[in-house]
Amino acid sequence: MSAAPLIDPFHRAISYLRVSVTDRCDFRCTYCMAEHMTFLPKADLLSLEELDRLCTSFIGLGVEKLRITGGEPLVRKGILTFFEAMARHLQTGALKELTLTTNGSQLGKYAQALADLGVKRINVSLDTLDPAKFAQITRWGRLPQVLDGIAAAKAAGLRVKINAVALQGFNEDEQFSLTEWCAREGHDLTWIEVMPMGEIEPARLGQYWSLRELRRRYEDRYSVTDLAERTGGPARYARLEESGQKIGFITPLTHNFCESCNRVRLTCTGELYMCLGQEDMADLRAPLRASPDDALLEQAIRAAIARKPKGHDFDYSRQSVSGQMTRHMSHTGG
């Protein structure tokens, strides 16, 4: 396979691949999916062996960071065999980081095995520490199970970053209690603006909480210092000087982070989305299955990267949403 790196039309090197291994999840978070979701037929999903081949092709083309997502990735049957397959690229040094984003429900079962396979850090989605509110926002989730999973990850030596979606009227009152809990537990915390994806009902418009306002609230209580640090994702970081902890801000609406985008997203059906906020995608399943040789697949990957747009068009106004994506976040991967 050619060693020429993947460079998009705006001279960004693509070194980060997010891979959704399933659209299924054991939660039904209100901002992510409908309560009664229609999931893909299992026959439509790529096999774990096919996902291995696809990811290996991307790694051969210069991808150095692989994040496994879903749905909830740890509900995919046999998922550890896929992590085992990817671990071989860590061992050769071709892959610099293998990680995942999870809702935490299965970490009690898998945390130690993931650590043993070379996973060093994980992101856990957690929007509230209130059990009743947690049940409300996830519909099916139980907070104690997730907290036990996070504890298991910490015990296994995994670095945990908490991802919290900022939701007006829901967790505004927990900004500081969640921050202080993360400080006590040694977890980093990143806040994310809710994105206009999937079925947007009028109530969803009212959920939008600008991270500019959230940051101003931090500045009223703490000395906040911007950090130059980047971890390969879209977050911008600041340090709360009084606690020393790092806070991340993912702001697709109040601050478009596209100028430094180095990532693409692969779905469990082989669709490659060059931008989370655009509908354009490339079908990699067809070239993958057309030949056991990877020449067609590499050609398709390069053609897709050549179409990567400069940025997305997410925008909220008072009464409507611009740049809305019809697909649910669980389809593309968080």
List residues forming the annotated binding site for [4Fe-4S] cluster: 25, 29, 32, 258, 261, 275
Q: Residues forming the annotated binding site?
A: 18, 25, 29, 31-32, 67, 71, 101, 125, 161, 195, 258, 261, 263-265, 275
| Residues in a beta bridge with 237 | 227, 248
Measure CA of the first residue to CA of the last residue in the chain; give whole Å. 30
Angle, helix 48-60 to helix 79-92, in steps of 10 degrees: 20
- Distances in Å between the Cα of 113 and the Cα atoms of 5, 73, 99 are 32, 14, 13
User: Which bin fits 169, alpha (ψ -120 to 50), beta or left (φ > 0)?
Assistant: left
Half-sphere exposure of 196 (CA within 13 A, CB side): 22
Paired strand residues for 102: 124
The contacts of residue 333 (CB under 8 Å, 6+ apart) are 18, 19, 20, 69, 70, 71, 101, 265, 266, 267
Other Cβ atoms within 10 Å of 83 Cβ, number? 23
Choose among 43, 59, 84: nearest CA to 1: 59
SS3 275: coil
Interhelix angle for 107-116 vs 143-155, to 10°?
20
What are the DSSP E strand ranges found in 59-154? Answer: 65-69, 97-102, 121-125
- Binding-site members for GTP are 18, 67, 101, 161, 263-265
Binding residues for S-adenosyl-L-methionine: 31, 71, 125, 195
Residues of 258-270 as b/e, b for ≥16 C-beta within 10 angstroms? beebbbbbbbbbb
Residues 6+ apart with CB under 8 A from 143: 128, 129, 130, 131, 134, 135
